[in-house]
Structure 1
Amino acid sequence: MNLIQGETVTVIRREVERDELGEPSSEKVTREAVGNVVVAPGSTSDLDSSRPEGVTVSLTLCFPKSYEGELRGCSVEVRGTEYAVVGDPQRHTPENTPGDWNLTAEVTRTDG
């Protein structure tokens, strides 16, 4: 029995295809299900007074060592909601990760 239970999330990659003039012509979207991802709540914060209904929500996702993809520029669907990956998450060194997870990513979304 594991003390920490992961769940399945979906990594979404969007690639913009450009025409001969360099203008966006279409978008290719790929979705990849990744299991055993630990989802931890992050901070929530209200936006300033100009957006009284606005809120920013973040989560911290810990991806398993078996996941070999990169997350820069991606978004991740967690429990039916899409979040943008912040920055360029990097893997921890193997010597410092005795458990099942070695890639930590912060994801965020803004509502309102």
Structure 2
Amino acid sequence: MNLIQGETVTVIRTEKVLDELGEPAYGEDAREEVGNVVVAPGATADLDASRPEGVTVAYTLCFPKTYAGELKGCAVEVRGERFRVVGDPQRYTEANTPGAWNLTVEVTRTDG
């Protein structure tokens, strides 16, 4: 029995291609399910007084050592909602991660 239970999330990569004029265009989304991801809910924060309904929703995700993909520029679907990855997440060194997870990722979505 594990004390920490992960859940399944979906990593979404949007294919970037060039159109006939050489300008960036976006292709199909590639979806990859990843299991055993620890999801830690973050706080909501008001953006400012001019957008009282606008809030930022964030999670911190801990990906398992078995996940080898890169997450820069990706989106992640958590509990049925789509979030953008913040920055370029990097893995912890093996010596500093005795547990099953070594990649901490912040994701965010702004509503309103």
TM range, smaller chain = over 0.9
* 1:71 aligned residue: 71
State whether structure 2 residue 94 is matched by structure 1 residue 94.
yes
Which aligned pairs between 1:14-25 and structure 2 lie closer than 5 A? 14-25=14-25
Counting only pairs closer than 5 Å after superposition, residues 1-112 of structure 1 correspond to structure 2 as 1-112=1-112
Q: Partners of 1:107 and 1:100 in 2: how far apart?
A: 20
CA contact (8 A) 1:17 1:28 kept: no
How does the TM-score come out when normalised to structure 2? Answer: 0.96
Greater mean alpha carbon deviation, residues 43-52 or residues 96-105:
43-52
2:69 partner SS: coil
SS in 2 for 1:89: coil
Question: Cα RMSD (Å) of the superposition?
Answer: 1.0
Give me the TM-score of the superposition, normalised by structure 1: 0.96
Give the % identical residues.
74
**1:25 Cα offset (Å):** 4.5
Instruction: Render the CA deviation track for 1:65-97: whole Å, top value 9, x for unaligned.
Output: 000000000000000000000000000000000
Query: For residues 28 and 47 of structure 1, what CA distance do their matches in structure 2 show?
Result: 31
What is the rounded CA distance, in whole Å, between the counterparts of 1:72 and 1:26 in structure 2? Answer: 16
Alpha carbons 1:7, 1:35 under 8 Å: kept: yes
Contact 1:74 1:85 in 2 (8 A): yes
What is the CA–CA distance in structure 1 between the aligned matches of 2:19 and 2:47, rounded to whole Å?
Answer: 38
Cα distance in structure 2, aligned partners of 1:80 and 1:12: 13
Contact 1:12 1:76 (C-alpha < 8 Å) held by counterparts: yes
Post-superposition, which runs of at least 4 consecutive aligned residues in structure 1 deviate over 4 A?
Answer: none
Gaps of 5+ in 2: none
**Number of residue pairs aligned between Structure 1 and Structure 2:** 112
